[in-house]
A = this chain, B = another copy of it.
Amino acid sequence: CRVCKIAVLSGDGIGPEISRVAVDLLKVAGDIEGVNFDFTDALIGGAAIDATGSPLPEETLQICRTSDAVLLAAIGGYKWDALPPEQRPEKGLLNLRAGLGTFANLRPAVVLSHLADASTLKREVVDGVDIMIVRELVGGIYFGQPRGFRTNEQGQKVGFNTMVYSEPEIERIAHVAFQLAQKRQKRLCSVEKSNVLEVSMLWKEVVTRIGGQYPDVELSHMYVDNAAMQIIRNPRFFDTIVTGNIFGDILSDTASMLTGSLGMLPSASTSDDGPGIFEPVHGSAPDIGGQDIANPLAMVLSAAMMCRYGLNMPQVAEHLEKAVTSALDQGYRTADLFSEGTQKVGCSEMGRVLLKCI
């Protein structure tokens, strides 16, 4: 029986209730497939600030480093919004990404036909959409130096950040994206702003060069403003997208709207060899935390991505994915997805439904 060490970072808000559902499901799916999941809870975000003063305690980073994968729920809440930037929950997330070197963030936006009507876009536009956004996650303007504040000659305050990419940073994310595209529809669109930014000119040049190694993948290039438009105008144009950190942040949220439900979207952040981070795209929803009404499906699908991409156990992933599809088929919906004719359930009840569906 294979043993897999999983760090569980429940974080804040609805985090604890949705991770419970995912962990329970993993246990059962693991039993079926002869995998023994060994879960270790660790603190992050607001919960970690309250307990230790730091949004990412050294102990948490150690636990993550020595695990096979990190299952992260969500962080943040009003309570910690007034803290100085260095001490805020988000900093815990950014430090975790940097600490584990998870440079490749995969964010699928798949429109499930069950839920196509939940989108604000017309069904005929979003039906069949299946986009994979590959976002560079540990470089670009999020981490670029120099950054900070200074005073100019006129004594006025100035704030500045640096958007920077080096050749090897672009190469490694390009390889991930091309290889993913090979397993998908073999179309990769690289998004940047090379008509204005030097950092984007280098991005385009390097992605184009790496593309030479993947002649079976059709490579296209698009400016970020146009991409933001085309994702809404003609989303089926896209198969796989590769882009930098902040453009990926914006475009993946745009794409998430195609699906009509943020509560359904998982993500995976992987490095070259260490453990990956698997987390829902949605936030901690502090307003509904602890009320047992949250949607645990994105968390369950994140656990599935963990099994598929992080642990190379696609059979376990399939159990989780099938449970989600079959719960939806049977008409079960949490409040965020509820519509006339479906059956409204809370978070833990959805968990029980999923366990029966496995």
What is A's interface to B at a CB cutoff of 8 Å? 85, 88, 90, 94, 120-122, 125, 141-142, 144, 147-149, 152, 154, 156-168, 193, 195-203, 224-226, 228-229, 232-234, 246, 249-254, 256-257, 262
The interface residues of chain B lying within 8 Å CB-to-CB of A158 are 164-167, 202
Give the docked Cα–Cα distance between A197 and B125 (Å): 35
Q: Tell me whether A152 and B125 are in contact (CB under 8 A).
A: no
* Residue from the list B144, B148, B198, B226 in contact with A147, Cβ < 8 A: B198
Chain B residue at minimal CB-CB distance from A117: B122
20 contacts between A and B (CB under 8 A): A85-B198, A85-B201, A88-B195, A120-B234, A122-B122, A141-B163, A144-B160, A149-B202, A154-B168, A157-B166, A160-B164, A160-B198, A162-B163, A163-B163, A224-B249, A224-B250, A225-B253, A228-B254, A232-B254, A250-B250
User: In angstroms, how far is the closest chain B Cβ from the Cβ of A152?
Assistant: 6
- Whether A201 pairs with B160 at a CB distance below 8 angstroms is no
Task: Assess the A229–B201 pair: CB atoms within 8 A.
Answer: no
For A120, what are the chain B residues with a Cβ–Cβ distance below 8 Å?
121-122, 125, 232-234
Q: How far is the CB of A237 from the nearest CB of chain B, in Å?
A: 12
**CB nearest to A149 among chain B residues:** B198
Instruction: Out of B94, B197, B254, name the residue touching A161 (CB < 8 Å).
Output: B197
Complex Cα–Cα for A275 and B148 (A): 34
Number of copies of this kind of chain in the complex: 2
Whether B257 pairs with A232 at a CB distance below 8 angstroms is: yes
CA distance A167 to B151 in the complex (A): 10
User: Is the CB–CB distance between B233 and A159 below 8 Å?
Assistant: no
Q: Hey, which chain B residues are within 8 Å of A94, CB to CB?
A: 196
CB < 8 Å neighbour of A164 from B159, B167, B257: B159
Task: Determine the chain B residues whose CB is within 8 A of the CB of A163 once the complex forms.
Answer: 141, 160-163
Q: How far is the CA of A250 from the CA of B262 in the complex (A)?
A: 21
Q: Which residue in chain B gives the minimum CB-CB distance to A226?
A: B253
Enumerate chain B residues within 8 angstroms of A201, measured Cβ to Cβ: 85, 159
In contact, A228 and B250 (Cβ under 8 angstroms): yes
Query: Please, how many angstroms separate the alpha-carbon atoms of A253 and B222 in the complex?
Result: 13
Q: Which chain B residues border A149 with CB–CB below 8 Å?
A: 198, 202
Contact assessment for B160 and A156 in the assembled complex, using a CB-CB cutoff below 8 Å = no
How many Å lie between the Cα of A199 and that of B252 in the bound state?
22
